[in-house]
Amino acid sequence: MDVVIIGAGIMGVTFANIAKTMDPNLNITIIERLDQAAGSNSSVFNNAGTGHEANCELNYTPVDEEVISVEKALTIHAQFNVAKQYWAYLVNQKIIDDPATFIHPTKHCTLVNEQSINLLHLRHKEMTSHHFFDDMQLSEDFDQIKEWIPLTMEGRSRDQKMAATLVDHGTDVNYESVTQQIAEHMVKEQGVRIEYSTHVKRVHKSPSGSWLVECLQGQEPVQFRADKLFVGAGGGAFPILKASHLPVGKRFSGFPVGGRFLLAKIDEETAKRYNAKTYGKAAVGAPPMSVPHLDLRAADGKHYLLFGPFATFSPILEKGRGLLEFLRMIHLHDIPNLLNVAKEHFPLVSYLFKETFKGESAMLATLDEFAPGLSKKFEWEIVQAGQRVQIIKDGDLQMGTEIIVSEDQSYGTLLGASPGASVSPEVMLRVVQQMFPKLSKKQESIEVFNEMFIESDLDKLIDDADRYRDVRQKIDKTLGIRG
């Protein structure tokens, strides 16, 4: 069976590897417009590299009139556990020799000021009653917080009342590195083809029922045929869905949110001393993906601090692509939906416009509010991050992701952006299962599936503390996260 995957980011590459490992007979080709894998949103500084498992992100535990909801946090934590199972499998199989090339143990902290201390206590109380978060610590003690996350406290006056939580076994993940290592393995060992520098312009179904994928390879038009087509093209998935003529495509359009970070190189000693990702509280009117955070990042043996993101309104599908491509995606029937979103989410749109024009000094001032005095301690540069294209479905703006699989299971795609690369193996596993339902019944596929995923049932991980602890202990050890 011929399978074509559009996009060699973490989603496309993970999809390819799971499918090919479960059925070695699949003939897989990945088509990528850039000249490398993980060159777009999955590239190391195009995202923040947080292994999102809800340890520190307040937006995963929304509060409504003093009632906190932790369901989303539990799901994301379980999804990240499944991701770690898959990455541990890659290490066990020597597909990745050294987990330290892509995953690093890092403290995950939340830091809030006086206005949100009660909220943090509420969150801590609710979360520590579940086995996922039972070792989360909370402190209001200035010196204790300073010991946990020194860079955010050293320049702060002791009069400022603050509170923080700490989970000391979170992670920083280099999604570019893990993606490239899987891609290299698939090309060398699994017979997967990757066609780089090949831009998909149009897809359509032929009368015989297969998909024809029309591309430009440089200036050369080329065409690929597929029995199954998976589109993991980030923001580029929207115009391809429209071009597919699947009726469902009419229900979707995209709302682009870009981002910038402040980035500073730091020495190893500072990295060891801080070794944390500290998340704060989003400003009023800010979208959930704008929660400010100060992250230790590791890449190619060097250490960095990353602060942001500063959201931007840039009407493009992906970093590096033009406005025209975005405008071409918009069909006449999308216009009322876009206008409706602009009207209903006016505070968000005006927030994005304001943030877009924030200059360097205003960005450094925001950093100093979060970590007083830090702007002067290091040499900061502004880096353009990746581009999220949020889903507009039937006129409603959504912040999550959506899997779409056509009725005949020949076309699958992932739209939206959150919580992103962290959950890619769990999400891609679901797409593979939906597009290749027969695989779950073949004995050889089941055996290899059980090696890849020790426990992929999210409810089981959420409800069965012993099972969860057993799985976590095995995979964290393999990945070098704890003992």
The closest of 423, 374, 419, 425 to 400, measured between CA atoms, is 419
Smallest distance from the beta carbon of 476 to ligand FAD, in angstroms?
Answer: 18
Smallest distance from the beta carbon of 276 to ligand FAD, in angstroms?
Answer: 14
Residue count of the chain, please give it: 483
Select 6 or 481, whichever has its Cβ closest to ligand FAD.
Answer: 6
Which amino acid, residue 347?
Answer: P
**Which string of DSSP letters, residue by residue, matches 204-227?**
EE-TTS-EEEEEEETTEEEEEEES
Give the Å distances, CA to CA, from 380 to 183, 308, 370, 383, 441: 33, 12, 15, 9, 54
Smallest distance from the beta carbon of 2 to ligand FAD, in angstroms?
Answer: 17
Smallest distance from the beta carbon of 153 to ligand FAD, in angstroms?
Answer: 23
CA–CA separation, 412 and 431 (whole Å): 7
Residues that bind ligand FAD (CB under 6 A): 6-12, 31-34, 38-42, 47-50, 52, 175, 199-200, 232-234, 236, 259, 309, 318, 385-388, 417, 419-422
Select 194 or 454, whichever has its Cβ closest to ligand FAD.
Answer: 194
Q: Do residues 329 and 202 lie in contact, with contact meaning Cβ atoms separated by under 8 Å?
A: no
The closest of 255, 254, 237 to 246, measured between CA atoms, is 237
The three-class DSSP label of residue 339 is helix
Select 231 or 454, whichever has its Cβ closest to ligand FAD.
Answer: 231
Smallest distance from the beta carbon of 46 to ligand FAD, in angstroms?
Answer: 6
Select 224 or 468, whichever has its Cβ closest to ligand FAD.
Answer: 224
Tokens describing residue 374:
């830090």
Strand partners, 306: 263, 295
Q: Do residues 461 and 453 lie in contact, with contact meaning Cβ atoms separated by under 8 Å?
A: no
Smallest distance from the beta carbon of 386 to ligand FAD, in angstroms?
Answer: 3
Smallest distance from the beta carbon of 250 to ligand FAD, in angstroms?
Answer: 20
Tokens describing residue 113:
């000021």
Question: What phi and psi values does residue 69 have, to the nearest 5 degrees?
Answer: -110, 125
**Which string of DSSP letters, residue by residue, matches 130-172?**
STTSTT-EEE--HHHHHHHSHHHHTTS-TTS-EEEEEEEEEEE
Select 259 or 287, whichever has its Cβ closest to ligand FAD.
Answer: 259
Question: What phi and psi values does residue 166 have, to the nearest 5 degrees?
Answer: -135, 130
CA–CA separation, 61 and 293 (whole Å): 17
Burial class (CB in 10 A: 0-12, 13-18, 19+), 220: exposed
| Residue whose tokens read 């400010």 | 292
Select 60 or 175, whichever has its Cβ closest to ligand FAD.
Answer: 175
Select 112 or 431, whichever has its Cβ closest to ligand FAD.
Answer: 431
Q: Do residues 5 and 183 lie in contact, with contact meaning Cβ atoms separated by under 8 Å?
A: no
Please give the span between the terminal C-alpha atoms of the chain, in angstroms, as a whole number.
43
Smallest distance from the beta carbon of 465 to ligand FAD, in angstroms?
Answer: 25
Select 31 or 109, whichever has its Cβ closest to ligand FAD.
Answer: 31
Select 163 or 298, whichever has its Cβ closest to ligand FAD.
Answer: 298
Smallest distance from the beta carbon of 173 to ligand FAD, in angstroms?
Answer: 7
Select 163 or 213, whichever has its Cβ closest to ligand FAD.
Answer: 213
CA–CA separation, 137 and 113 (whole Å): 17
Smallest distance from the beta carbon of 248 to ligand FAD, in angstroms?
Answer: 19
Smallest distance from the beta carbon of 41 to ligand FAD, in angstroms?
Answer: 3
Q: Do residues 211 and 225 lie in contact, with contact meaning Cβ atoms separated by under 8 Å?
A: yes
Select 57 or 476, whichever has its Cβ closest to ligand FAD.
Answer: 57
